[in-house]
Chains A and B, each alone.
Chain A
């Protein structure tokens, strides 16, 4: 063992272990610096809730951040919380709950899909993947809520960007660049994130629709109305048994529109929305706050796919193209539901191979959208592109990667070969 290695091993005690669990920022930086010098590729991981998303890649060690956890500072009146990156979302939510605040972008919970139980993962993981839940079209995604961060780049240097205030245009917005980069540019250490007051109440207007086209029309009207909805989803008939609510008086496909705010205002807006949608009273049900919460929790955690053995795609298209998308995908025997008011389709396929995926990607691209493969048979994973990228963006991304992680030791190949 060289002098240098001895020194390192004194700080982070067991480097021989394949999983490293540092609990200090300096240790994270030391580990990465060491790996940089020795060309040791690392897999970066929080609680592992989204570990299966992305390409498989070769790593020698896992940098597990779950011990680097805790709330650093929470200032409810300044609307931000600063946390260590390994802090579980659950812990953050519980803390915010005390002051009646929340993370407005309600991250997608992939726990049920991959592990059979709720696990929203850590804040570092949520930001690294940037998957936002049903409120996305109203409040933005995770990237719209990060205010600043500290992190460690692939050279083991501690870097920072942004701060704790909402308005900050000092230098390039690295917070956004790192968010959604799947741990390939830097490892988050400290994260400052915007928090917002929790709405007093939530109710959901359910409309029983005969078909997708009408459902999408309703979603579009809702999103264009001044009723300010915060959730807008469509579930086809196939999933009707997944929702058994007392307030739900109908069967069949459903369109769900969530309205949040004070009690008076919710009732007023639901009434107005019913008028704008021109729906008959027989077609509608209204979920009370408790049932409404359950409904959107189920949507956010992809509950209808929780026993899924097969393949799941996350397809994003402009809302106007959702109908065409689903129609064109029907030949692949899909099961799906629509979220984000028509802008997001979660699509399950029993059969998937690289040819089918290519065909679907072409359909999606022609509609002006993109898709991410969320869950797929391990045997297929190596032969398909999980993410999609064009040549120009690949070249730019490759150069940016080089600036942050020149030896490609942070999640190398997690997103794209060579990045």
Chain B
């Protein structure tokens, strides 16, 4: 896994490692600077584990002032910085560079304030997503975005990636549930965008930072909106004998004006795998299985679930089950939430793709994925956030076989290109990182990318903050000839590049 080109290693930085450590020691306590191979190994990869690279040094700041001083120092000395939260990202956004200082935010793990009156929580960035809900649930509040890594992923990482979850259609992704952030820019400037107010004036820098994948600033504080828990949630587990019927059912639910809190589809392969894994009581013979969850007041939910049932029957569902108890509802979800580990049981490795498609194109896209699965001789299972059009094909392979890994990546990139072709997007919630970097030209032309890079240049003119991520080659770097190609090969030779 070395074919992906990364910014050229600055040898002068490597050779000044000791000097850098001693300089950083003026900012940080000794124990918060890690440089021994054994100490930095845990930081060599994130959840895109096929890519590994040890950083030069790991620093673990404890205060905003320290973050600011570290960035200012690195900026002045042209040292690359890679910020990292919990390291659960699936697109390689926290992959270190050999000549970088890895900025581990793990010590920023405290809830600063719970403000029920303004229905918001102020947090340090490495508080986990689930910890927010845990902190406010006794007052029946919760934080809506729920990425499947929510027990481990950090809120700062959620902001950097604009994470979603299974409830995004009704409740939005991180960007729609965020009120404010404190951020440190590469030159050490500390500033705030937003606060406890709804909207803020001037350019939407909060919106710009959200989902910028750690390229524009380091998030040091986050204020999120919390919501009152709906009184009741009910889920229907529906089987279909064809993907087309399931897709049609989704379209009709929405066309009839129903916005479910969650609406998930799994194909036959995944339904079987998850059912074997979690004994969720899924209809394993069905070609597609759907979970539709409605929330609100008792009357409202009963009314809506009846309507969903009628729509499902009209669309030739083969089975339908509505939870009778809260325990049963959670069991429905337990299977879906275990989809990824269940695939882990089926093959030594799997790669989770993350495309977005128009809901109506589901059957067409799944057919194409089946065709590609045969072409590449690799099994695939599909999970689909039908509510918001986010498709997660899970390609199964063996990473020890380099040929299979290469084929998996090609397979994945063909799927994503197809998603874009039918009017969707390269990534719905996992981010571009390094994983989909080379595919950006599928979605954007030269001018579009140049415009985005202009923003990067405005905030980080030397391209030191998380370089080599998201954009195929930072244009500025390309112009300066700072990018090299390992072994004369680029990862996707057929893609137009800059």
- Which A residues are CB-close (under 8 A) to B449? 171
Nearest-neighbour CB distance to chain B for A72, whole angstroms, equals 13
Q: Are A172 and B229 in contact (CB under 8 A)?
A: no
- Which B residues are CB-close (under 8 A) to A174? 208, 451-452
Q: Are B455 and A144 in contact (CB under 8 A)?
A: no
Nearest-neighbour CB distance to chain A for B250, whole angstroms, equals 9
Nearest-neighbour CB distance to chain B for A201, whole angstroms, equals 12
- Which B residues are CB-close (under 8 A) to A268? 297-300
A403, CB-defined interface residue at 8 Å: yes
Say which residue of A99, A164, A224 sits within 8 Å of B228 (CB atoms). Answer: A224
B1, CB-defined interface residue at 8 Å: no
**Quick one: closest A residue to B461, CB to CB?**
A399
- Which A residues are CB-close (under 8 A) to B454? 403-404
- Which A residues are CB-close (under 8 A) to B228? 224-226
A170-B440, A197-B258, A399-B458 known; A393 vs B202 contact (CB < 8 Å): yes
In the complex, how many residues of chain B place their beta carbon closer than 8 angstroms to a beta carbon of chain A?
Answer: 88
- Which A residues are CB-close (under 8 A) to B164? 167
Nearest-neighbour CB distance to chain B for A414, whole angstroms, equals 12
- Quick one: which of B88-137 are within 8 Å of A by CB? 115-119
Interface contact tally, CB-CB below 8 A: 247
- Which A residues are CB-close (under 8 A) to B428? 165, 167-169
A218, CB-defined interface residue at 8 Å: no
- Quick one: which of A313-349 are within 8 Å of B by CB? 316-320, 340, 343-344
Q: Are B360 and A78 in contact (CB under 8 A)?
A: yes
Q: Complex: how many Å from CA A388 to CA B255?
A: 43
Name the residue in B161, B389, B470 with the highest tally of chain A Cβ atoms < 10 Å from its Cβ.
Answer: B389
Q: Are A197 and B259 in contact (CB under 8 A)?
A: yes
Q: Complex: how many Å from CA A172 to CA B423?
A: 19
In the complex, how many residues of chain A place their beta carbon closer than 8 angstroms to a beta carbon of chain B?
Answer: 84
A3, CB-defined interface residue at 8 Å: no
Nearest-neighbour CB distance to chain B for A372, whole angstroms, equals 6
Q: Are A370 and B458 in contact (CB under 8 A)?
A: no
- Which A residues are CB-close (under 8 A) to B385? 167
Nearest-neighbour CB distance to chain A for B32, whole angstroms, equals 27
A265-B299, A268-B298 known; A368 vs B197 contact (CB < 8 Å): yes
Q: Are B303 and A265 in contact (CB under 8 A)?
A: yes
Q: Are B424 and A165 in contact (CB under 8 A)?
A: yes
- Contact bitstring B48-91, A, C-beta under 8 A = 1, else 0: 00000000000000000000000000000000000000000000
Q: Are B432 and A269 in contact (CB under 8 A)?
A: no
Say which residue of B175, B255, B427 sits within 8 Å of A176 (CB atoms). Answer: B175
**Quick one: closest B residue to A165, CB to CB?**
B356
Nearest-neighbour CB distance to chain A for B299, whole angstroms, equals 5
A144-B172, A173-B207, A180-B204 known; A226 vs B229 contact (CB < 8 Å): yes
- Contact bitstring B148-166, A, C-beta under 8 A = 1, else 0: 0000000000000110100
A157, CB-defined interface residue at 8 Å: yes
A27, CB-defined interface residue at 8 Å: no
- Which B residues are CB-close (under 8 A) to A370? 197, 200-201
Q: Are B424 and A316 in contact (CB under 8 A)?
A: no
Q: Complex: how many Å from CA A66 to CA B156?
A: 42
B212, CB-defined interface residue at 8 Å: yes
Say which residue of B189, B258, B457 sits within 8 Å of A392 (CB atoms). Answer: B189
Q: Are B297 and A141 in contact (CB under 8 A)?
A: no
Nearest-neighbour CB distance to chain A for B416, whole angstroms, equals 10
Q: Are B451 and A170 in contact (CB under 8 A)?
A: no
B195, CB-defined interface residue at 8 Å: yes
Q: Complex: how many Å from CA A71 to CA B208?
A: 28
**Quick one: closest B residue to A157, CB to CB?**
B447
A226-B229, A392-B191, A393-B205 known; A173 vs B162 contact (CB < 8 Å): yes
Q: Complex: how many Å from CA A179 to CA B212?
A: 17
B291, CB-defined interface residue at 8 Å: no
- Quick one: which of B422-450 are within 8 Å of A by CB? 423-432, 436, 440, 443-444, 447-449
Nearest-neighbour CB distance to chain B for A291, whole angstroms, equals 23
Q: Are B303 and A264 in contact (CB under 8 A)?
A: yes
Q: Complex: how many Å from CA A265 to CA B299?
A: 6
A76-B255, A167-B389, A173-B207 known; A159 vs B119 contact (CB < 8 Å): no
- Contact bitstring A266-299, B, C-beta under 8 A = 1, else 0: 0011001000000000000000000000000000
- Which B residues are CB-close (under 8 A) to A165? 356-358, 388-389, 423-425, 428
Nearest-neighbour CB distance to chain B for A254, whole angstroms, equals 22
- Contact bitstring B341-364, A, C-beta under 8 A = 1, else 0: 000000000000000111110000
- Which B residues are CB-close (under 8 A) to A77? 251-252, 254-255, 359-360
Residues on A facing B (Cβ under 8 Å): 75-79, 99-101, 130, 132, 136-137, 140-141, 143-144, 153, 157-161, 163-174, 176-177, 179-181, 185, 196-198, 200, 220, 223-228, 261-262, 264-265, 268-269, 272, 316-320, 340, 343-344, 368-370, 372, 387-389, 392-393, 396-397, 399-400, 402-404, 415-416
A and B contact pairs by CB, cutoff 8 A, 8 listed: A166-B168, A166-B169, A171-B452, A176-B208, A179-B207, A180-B202, A224-B119, A389-B202
